[in-house]
Amino acid sequence: MKWDWSAVGDFMPHFWDGLLVTLQALALGSVISFALGLVWALLMRTPTRWVRWPVGVVTEFIRNTPLLVQLFFLFYVLPEWNITFSALTTGVVAIGLHYSTYTMQVYRAGIEAVPAGQWEAARALSLPVRRTWTAVILPQAIRRVVPPLGNYVISMLKDTPILMVITVMEMLGEARLYSQQHFQFTEPLTVIGVAFILISYPASLLLRALERRLVR
């Protein structure tokens, strides 16, 4: 099969549109997963069993069901209950919600890694609970969890093509539509594969360097 450079040129405007949607979904999904994951982690540390138990059930259910199933549920089932979002918003919420159950575990590990002496020092100084968390515990925990959280960002990037199934035109969606319209599959799909490598591989190298810096 002969490589057609003109097809690459024709596809590039569609590629840039898809890349913008991919980055939007990734950025917003990451924000949701980081924020909600921290909320889950803090709720799981509350002394009240009636808070921990429902949170544990919900997060285990989300973590142990496929992202695709959750995506279909949000996109097709919620409208039957008069809850409707755009396709992109649905995709962002699904990715953020799904990965929040994984970032929760990262936060929990980071919090538990804070030395017991830090908790004792905060109690000895009679710091309020909020002050203990915001000034003592979370700054140390977050420093430990930045690299693992970054790994999940890369995982979310690689999962963005699944949004194509609910009509979100991210990179792969644009490539698929172009290929079906022009009967040229090699060039657009190759461009998409190279794009994912060019984004994810440098990001993984940056995370490794950041991890080495933080553990010093």
Instruction: Write out pLDDT tens, residues 85-98.
Output: 999 999 999 999 99
Calpha distance 14→176 (Å, rounded) = 11
State the pLDDT at residue 93.
Answer: 96
Instruction: Write out pLDDT tens, residues 11-62.
Output: 999 999 999 999 999 999 999 999 999 999 999 988 888 889 999 999 999 9
Please give the torsion angle defined by the CA atoms of residues 60, 63, 68 and 69, in that order, rounded to the nearest 10 degrees: -10
Calpha distance 82→70 (Å, rounded) = 17
Specify burial of residue 173 (Cβ count, 10 A radius: 0-12, 13-18, 19+). buried
Residue 214's pLDDT band (cuts 50, 70, 90): low
Query: Would you say how long the chain is, in residues?
Result: 216
Cβ contacts of 72 within 8 Å, gap of 6 or more: 165, 166
Can you give the pTM of this predicted structure?
A: 0.89
- For residue 149, the one-letter residue type is L
Neighbours of 209 (CB within 10 A): 11
Q: Is the pLDDT of residue 77 over 90?
A: yes
State the pLDDT at residue 1.
Answer: 57
